[in-house]
């Protein structure tokens, strides 16, 4: 992933240096170089937000597995997205979770609205009472489901977020550095799953390029200001008599 991101960062640095040399090595060069670099990072962000989309509030639950012995075994298949229960949309955290919604009905049959293959359909399932090892009971549908965010690929939203991305990235980084880091997380299934998702994210190289280019742009601006200040100081310094 890093091998794909590094050439993009190199392009930014080389182009910035060419602008500095050709634009007079002054305030104009600093302004042009910074603006061009900012536009470059924003363009990368726009490409990500339009191709992958912008993660928005999860819409329903995606079925990962269906257990035998339940109604769901013959009516649901992995990949189904459950978007509503008894006509009430499922959008956690704004609405109750699927488990809470099922248990709130006390074992009564529930109607699930789901999406499959681009089509919407409804199925009626009867929950079963599950006795847990900790002594508690819960009404279950016999499925394993996960929340999965939707992605908005609208160009308007992508453009707005892309323009704000460099500033937001630097601001978040400064905040992280100024905040006391949380204690290390314990290893476990959740952490393993999170790390696996990061490792298999096909857009990770572009995210790295965006982040590194943002840091590189900030560093280049600091270098340009230092070079400009040194040039001004050299010009104003009195020359020794010959």
pTM, 2 dp: 0.63
Based on the domain organization, do 123 and 72 belong to the same domain? Answer: yes
Based on the domain organization, do 207 and 156 belong to the same domain? Answer: yes
Look at residue 12 and tell me if it is in a domain.
yes
Contact 66, 142 (CB under 8 A): yes
Contact 102, 124 (CB under 8 A): no
Please give the residue range of the domain that contains residue 50. 2-55+152-236
CATH of the domain at 107: 2.30.42.10
Among 123, 149, 175, the domain boundary falls at 149
H/E element, 71: none
Look at residue 242 and tell me if it is in a domain.
no
Please tell me the predicted confidence (pLDDT) of residue 120: 92
Q: What does the block give as tokens for 99?
A: 């488990």
Cα 122 to Cα 88: distance, rounded to the nearest angstrom: 13
Please tell me the predicted confidence (pLDDT) of residue 75: 92
Look at residue 241 and tell me if it is in a domain.
no
Question: Per-residue confidence of the chain (242 residues) as pLDDT tens digits?
Answer: 578 899 999 999 999 999 988 888 889 999 999 999 999 999 999 999 998 888 777 778 899 999 998 989 999 999 999 999 999 988 877 788 888 999 999 889 999 999 998 899 999 999 998 877 666 888 999 999 888 777 788 899 899 999 999 999 999 988 888 876 655 544 444 443 344 344 446 788 999 999 999 999 999 999 999 999 988 888 776 655 44
Among 121, 149, 177, the domain boundary falls at 149
Please tell me the predicted confidence (pLDDT) of residue 182: 55
Look at residue 164 and tell me if it is in a domain.
yes
Structural domain total, the chain: 2
What's the length of the chain? Answer: 242
For residues 184-219, b (16+ Cβ closer than 10 Å) or e, as one string? eeeeeeeeeeeeeeeeeeeebbbbbbbbbbbebbbe
Based on the domain organization, do 159 and 230 belong to the same domain? Answer: yes
H/E element, 5: helix 2-22
Sign of CA dihedral 7, 13, 15, 18: negative
């Amino acid at each position: 992933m890093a091998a794909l991101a590094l050439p993009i960062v190199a392009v930014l640095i080389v182009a910035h240096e060419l602008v500095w040399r050709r634009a007079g090595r002054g305030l104009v060069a600093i302004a042009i170089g910074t603006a061009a670099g900012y536009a470059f990072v924003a363009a990368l962000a726009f490409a990500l937000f339009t191709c992958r989309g912008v993660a928005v509030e999860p819409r329903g639950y995606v079925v990962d597995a269906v257990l035998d012995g339940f109604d769901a075994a013959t009516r649901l298949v992995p990949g189904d997205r459950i978007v509503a229960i008894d006509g009430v949309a499922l959008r956690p955290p704004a609405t109750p979770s699927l488990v809470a919604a099922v248990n709130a009905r006390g074992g009564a049959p529930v109607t699930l609205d789901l999406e499959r293959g681009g089509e919407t359909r409804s199925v009626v399932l009867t929950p079963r009472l599950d006795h847990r090892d900790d002594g508690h009971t819960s009404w279950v549908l016999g499925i394993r489901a996960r929340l999965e965010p939707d992605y908005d690929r609208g160009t308007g939203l992508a453009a707005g977020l892309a323009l704000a991305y460099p500033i937001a990235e630097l601001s978040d980084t400064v905040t992280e550095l100024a905040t006391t880091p949380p204690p290390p997380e314990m290893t476990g299934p959740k952490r393993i799953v999170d790390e696996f998702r990061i490792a298999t994210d096909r857009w990770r190289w572009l995210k790295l390029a965006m982040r590194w280019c943002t840091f590189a742009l900030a560093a280049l601006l600091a270098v340009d200001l230092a070079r400009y200040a040194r040039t001004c100081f050299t010009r104003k310094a009195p020359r020794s008599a010959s």
